[in-house]
Structure 1
Amino acid sequence: MRAWQAPSVPDVPGAAPRPVVHDTATGKPVDPTHGDERAALYVCGITPYDATHLGHAATYLAFDTLGRAWRDAGLDVEYAQNVTDVDDPLLERATRDGVDWRELAASQIDLFRRDMESLRILPPDDFVAVTDEVDRVAEAVAFLQETGSAYEVPTPDAEGDDLYFDVNHPTDAWSLGDESGLDRETMLTLAAERGGDPERPGKRDPLDPLLWRAARDGEPSWDSEIGPGRPGWHIECSVIAGDRLGLPISVQGGGSDLVFPHHEMSAGHAAALAHQPLAHAFVHTGMIAYQGTKISKSLGNLVTVRGLLDDGADPRAIRLALLSHKYSDDWEWFDAELTSASTRLATWDAWASGAPAGHADDAADVASRIRARVSDDLDTPGAVAAVDTAIAGGTACTSELADLIDALLGIRLG
């Protein structure tokens, strides 16, 4: 599946330090490349049933920043992202609106592409629809059955039985809780809230996640070697990440609401399939609230990228507003965020467009500070502050400094 058009990224003299990021699994800052010259990134993509909201934008911007920082450090970056274009929320929305689920998915994926282009997000090398990977997922589930990691749960209303992953089956590179660090009670609560079915009869363990949903009347399904049906949520990412990037990848990324069960179970599936860890680091973005509650499609309290653009917002200002917050923090969006970012952007534009002032050596120092902040766990607020300080101190905006702001922060000035 095609992604979106890539923005141009200037080549900037010099090189940044290798970025370190916060690994959720260990709670420590790490270089997830382990000194390799290749950095492999997998970020969980959208379920395309509604417009891109600011929570999505902040997540993809965070990992866009990581990719830019890796490239600025001289690394070769490989990036894959999925689209969960068949899943219960999508099917439920299509039924509610009386539209074909495929048409709904296609329209929302196209909107997502346009939003990403507007925000100058670098596209993944592999932008993968789950519906294009059903055969590979079925092969993986068949392998898990053969090796004892998957089992059938009787499903009278389906053409066959659902297949589940046994979280207690021994694996070489994973055991339950390794990635999330959560206790069992918390896991059970989150599983019930986030797409799991801990109360399902017939499961060996309430936390066992669905691998393959057997075909039901009125639901999309695909013929496969394990019978007609469709993939479960977690296995799709394990298969796509492994196939496109090889395991272990450098970073598995997504919002903090994916820590459990999605990333935990994806890691378990990967270990059972490949006897390798899924990733060297699990990196998560914080949640954005609006009107006192986390922005959520299900709640409907959305601030969308498209809505802001349609109201006349400069996409650079949206990007700058998001960069002004630490990627891993939870925070709340207020309308003043965009006003403040627009004012800051106008100041930056005037600085870049004016006659050079100050000393080039000062500009080089500012560039070093920006690079240092971004490489330190993607401290974009610190990088933004470095630019503000440079302007306030009368530092010249050289072409090289403007190019670095474009290359690392994705904001083209002037």
Structure 2
Amino acid sequence: MQPWSAPDVPALPVTAPEVALHDTATGGLVPVAPEGPARLYVCGITPYDATHMGHAATYVGFDLLNRAWRNAGHEVVYAQNVTDVDDPLLERATKVGIPWQEIAERETELFRQDMTALRVLPPAFYTGAVESIPLVIALIERLEAAGAAYEVEGDLYFSVTADPAFGEESHLSREEMLRIFPQRGGDPDRPGKKDPLDPILWLAERPGEPSWESPWGRGRPGWHIECAAIAMEHLGGSFDVQGGGSDLVFPHHEMCAGHAQVAVPGTPFAKVYAHAGMVAYDGEKMSKSKGNLVFVSSLRNSDIDPMAIRLTLLRHHYRSDWEWTNAELNESFNILDQWRKALALGAGAPTGLVVEDVLDVLAADLDSPAALEVIQDWVDATLGVDGLADASEATAAATISDLLDAALGLKL
């Protein structure tokens, strides 16, 4: 599967510091300074609907990490999946009477267009669930060999107890896990399972549903095994950062880690688990079931500047929960207008430590609001807000323009 096109990103005159991220597993700030290429996996979309602001916030958030690593001098190997066959997609296809493949292709292409407009750097490996089926089968066979897979009425399940580290990523109690599991695709009450928390590895063929050949008969992969197999194929048995929304902490990321850690014993799936906050609208988390979605494509089709959308996302720390409002989007238009006026002068207030300060705060858990404050101070000085009307650096505007693009993804 092809990703979207990569934007041109300018090089900065200084090298950024090494990045430290908040790790969900430890609860603290962890340095992420790879000796070789930095390896990142961010869970992708299930393409049954268009990209909403919750999705966009996650991918823009981890785009900051991608850029921070590159600005620190690292090569980045980024992998992302597309769950292009799963229950929500099949249910949507049945409801609207359109083939599931057609919906998946259409919405994936729309996602590519949204990411291009938002200047999100594309992954090197963009892999659909369907094309990953051989990888999934190979990983399930490894789990079978380890004694961690078993059958229930033709379906294959993973034994969570096979991973001694199960629960160390989310740190949820068993009671909390049992409460959340059915809300996020689990089936704790199914008879015949060894443990209510065991997730599906391979779902046997159901009437009217797509299926593929496997050693266990025709069927399709489970959600968690899909991501584990793709990440292991492209990033290895252990990599630097597993990213996604905070709603993926459990069960998805916990189960992915379990699969990989049983297949490669003694090796943590990811060194750091980083999670983006949830975006609300009208007082509740954006979700299809709530019908409170704000789509990136809808705003773009209304001639909304994608940089205003991206700036609105950057005004919130990637780990924070917040609410999207039209008022804040309008404020972002005003901010961009002011910044463009400052950049259009062709010169500006001394850049001083602006570049270093922006890179420093982004290296400290991707603090984009703090980075924007540094930029705003320079804009205020350039426009004479603080009595500094005289521009003293002919190259200042160009330097700030490159900084905005390379570090924050804002092309003004």
In the superposition, the TM-score normalised over structure 2's length comes to 0.95
* 1:142 and 1:226 in contact (8 A); partners too: no
Per-residue deviation at 1:250?
0.4
SS at match of 1:367: helix
Name the CA distance, whole Å, in 1 between partners of 2:151 and 2:341: 64
Give the aligned residue type for 1:294.
K
Equivalent residue runs for 1:5-404 within 5 Å: 5-33=5-33, 35-154=34-153, 161-169=154-162, 171=163, 174-275=164-265, 276-359=267-350, 363-394=351-382, 397-404=396-403
SS at match of 1:55: helix
Give the aligned residue type for 2:82.
V
| TM-aligned CA distance change 1:355 to 1:32, over 3 Å | closer
* 2:344 and 2:397 in contact (8 A); partners too: no
Give the aligned residue type for 1:391.
V
- Structure 1: any 5+ residue segments left out of the alignment? 155-160
Name the CA distance, whole Å, in 1 between partners of 2:348 and 2:372: 20
* 1:138 and 1:226 in contact (8 A); partners too: no
Q: For 1:227-249, what per-residue CA distance to the aligned partner results, in whole angstroms no more than 9, with x for missing partners?
A: 21100000011110000111211
Give the aligned residue type for 1:270.
A
SS at match of 1:217: coil
SS at match of 2:32: coil
1:158 aligned residue: none
SS at match of 2:19: coil
- Structure 2: any 5+ residue segments left out of the alignment? 383-390
Per-residue deviation at 1:146?
2.3
Per-residue deviation at 1:175?
2.1
In the superposition, the TM-score normalised over structure 1's length comes to 0.95
Per-residue deviation at 1:400?
2.0
In the TM superposition, structure 1's runs of 4+ consecutive aligned residues that sit over 6 Å from their partners are none
Higher mean displacement: 297-306 or 334-343 = 297-306
Give the aligned residue type for 1:15.
T
Kindly, what percent of the aligned residue pairs are identical?
51
* 2:18 and 2:32 in contact (8 A); partners too: no
* 1:20 and 1:31 in contact (8 A); partners too: yes
Name the CA distance, whole Å, in 2 between partners of 1:301 and 1:386: 33
* 2:346 and 2:398 in contact (8 A); partners too: no
Give the aligned residue type for 1:328.
R
* 1:41 and 1:77 in contact (8 A); partners too: yes
Give the aligned residue type for 2:30.
V
2:386 aligned residue: none
SS at match of 1:301: coil
* 2:242 and 2:270 in contact (8 A); partners too: yes
Name the CA distance, whole Å, in 2 between partners of 1:393 and 1:324: 20
* 2:146 and 2:263 in contact (8 A); partners too: no
SS at match of 2:275: strand
Per-residue deviation at 1:125?
0.1
Per-residue deviation at 1:357?
3.3
SS at match of 2:187: coil
Higher mean displacement: 398-407 or 259-268 = 398-407
Name the CA distance, whole Å, in 2 between partners of 1:355 and 1:85: 47
Per-residue deviation at 1:364?
3.5
CA-based RMSD: 1.1
Higher mean displacement: 395-404 or 228-237 = 395-404
Give the aligned residue type for 2:122.
P
* 1:153 and 1:202 in contact (8 A); partners too: yes
Q: For 1:160-204, what per-residue CA distance to the aligned partner results, in whole angstroms no more than 9, with x for missing partners?
A: x101000112x4xx5221100110111011101100011111101
SS at match of 2:143: helix
* 1:167 and 1:175 in contact (8 A); partners too: no
SS at match of 2:280: strand
Alignment size in residue pairs = 400
Name the CA distance, whole Å, in 1 between partners of 2:161 and 2:288: 33
Name the CA distance, whole Å, in 2 between partners of 1:249 and 1:300: 36
Name the CA distance, whole Å, in 2 between partners of 1:240 and 1:49: 20
* 2:38 and 2:74 in contact (8 A); partners too: yes
Higher mean displacement: 218-227 or 204-213 = 218-227
* 1:140 and 1:239 in contact (8 A); partners too: yes
SS at match of 2:191: coil
* 1:364 and 1:401 in contact (8 A); partners too: no
Higher mean displacement: 50-59 or 293-302 = 293-302
Per-residue deviation at 1:299?
2.1
Give the aligned residue type for 1:164.
Y
Name the CA distance, whole Å, in 2 between partners of 1:77 and 1:297: 33
